[in-house]
Amino acid sequence: MKRIFLWAITSVIFSCSTNAQTATEIVTRAYNKMQGNSAEMTITMKLVRPTWERTISIKSWNKGSDYSMVLITAPVKDQGQTFLKRQNDMWNWVPSISRMIKLPSSMMSQSWMGSDLSYDDFMKESSIVNDYTHKIVGSETIGGYDCYKIELTPKPNAAVVWGKVIKWISKNDYYILKSEYYDEDIDLVRTENVSQIKSMNDRSIPTYYEVIPADKPGNKTIMIIELAKFNITIDDSFFSQQNMKTVK
Domains of the chain, residue spans: 22-244
Residue 120: per-residue pLDDT:
82
Q: What is the pLDDT of residues 64-113, one digit of tens each?
A: 888 999 999 999 999 999 999 998 899 999 999 999 999 998 888 899 99
Residue 109: per-residue pLDDT:
83
Answer yes or no: is pLDDT of 213 > 50. Answer: yes
pLDDT over 90 for what percent of the chain? Answer: 76
pLDDT-based confidence at 125, cuts 50/70/90? low
Q: For the domain made up of 22-244, give the CATH fold.
A: outer membrane lipoprotein receptor (LolB), chain A (2.50.20)
Among 19-23, 41-45, 163-167, the minimum mean pLDDT is found in 19-23
Q: What is the pLDDT of residues 24-69, one digit of tens each?
A: 999 999 999 988 889 999 999 999 999 999 999 999 999 988 899 9
pTM of the predicted model, to two decimals? 0.86
Q: Which residues of 53-64 are buried (b: 16+ CB within 10 A; e: fewer)?
A: eeebbbbbbbbe
Answer yes or no: is pLDDT of 19 > 80. Answer: no
Secondary structure, 3-state, 64-130: CCCEEEEEEEECHHHCCCEEEEECCEEEEEECCCCEEEECCHHHCCCECCCCCCEHHHHHCCCCCCC
Q: What is the pLDDT of residues 174-183, one digit of tens each?
A: 999 999 999 9
